[in-house]
């Protein structure tokens, strides 16, 4: 049964809504807030890769907003790794969003789901830090832990 069903039923028979009827539907869980944070991580990575390059002349290697992808492709060292972390963050995002939504739909225990989603975001932040710092082995371990956490999120509503 959809969370909307009781509201639609009341609306169809002409019953007035109260604030208490609508507010639970609009409540964001911690897991949903974690989705928002995870969606911002690629943007954070992009900012890291372009750090202190805005306003710097192009002749001195400053950021080229007319050809940003070409500029990023020429970067090396930590800037290139931050850009790679950005791509990986975009790649990981759909699975995380899907896992959180499915877990909610399956009626996962909210506390467990919130904790797992929070752990996932923390692991992704650690992953990005390790990627930029060129800690390849640790980064791969953290990536694996984040993937396992995401799988746990997906199945947290399975009963």
Question: Could you read off the pLDDT of 141-158 as tens digits, one per residue?
Answer: 999 999 999 999 999 988
Of 78 and 66, the one with more pLDDT: 78
Structure tokens at 145: 């832990």
Of 66 and 115, the one with more pLDDT: 115
Q: Which pTM was predicted?
A: 0.79
pLDDT tens per residue, range 81-121: 999 999 999 999 999 999 999 999 999 999 999 999 999 99
74 contact partners, CB below 8 Å, separation of at least 6: none
Whether residue 95 contacts residue 151, with contact meaning beta carbons closer than 8 Å, is answered with: no
62 contact partners, CB below 8 Å, separation of at least 6: 53, 54, 55, 56
Structure tokens at 88: 């990986």
Question: Residue 136: which of 96, 93, 84 has the closest Cα?
Answer: 84
| Architecture of the 28-155 domain | Up-down Bundle (1.20)
Residue 23 pLDDT exceeds 80: no
At 130 the pLDDT is 98
Residue 64 pLDDT exceeds 90: no
Helix (H) or strand (E) holding 62: none
| Tokens 């953290």, located at residue | 142
Kindly report the number of other CB atoms within 10 A of residue 79's CB atom. 19
């Amino acid at each position: 049964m959809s969370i909307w069903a009781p509201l639609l039923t009341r609306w169809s028979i002409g019953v007035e809504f109260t604030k208490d009827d609508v507010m639970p539907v609009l409540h964001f869980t911690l897991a949903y807030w974690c989705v928002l944070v995870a969606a911002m991580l690629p943007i954070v990575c992009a900012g890291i890769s372009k750090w202190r390059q805005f306003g710097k002349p192009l002749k001195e290697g400053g950021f080229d907003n007319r050809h940003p992808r070409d500029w990023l492709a020429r970067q090396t060292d930590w800037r290139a790794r931050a850009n790679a972390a950005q791509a990986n963050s975009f790649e990981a995002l759909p699975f995380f969003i899907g896992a959180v939504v499915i877990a909610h739909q399956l009626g996962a225990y909210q506390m467990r789901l919130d904790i797992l989603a929070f752990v996932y975001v923390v692991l992704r932040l650690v992953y990005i830090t390790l990627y930029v710092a060129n800690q390849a082995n640790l980064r791969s371990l953290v990536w694996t832990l984040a993937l396992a956490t995401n799988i746990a999120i997906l199945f947290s509503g399975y009963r």
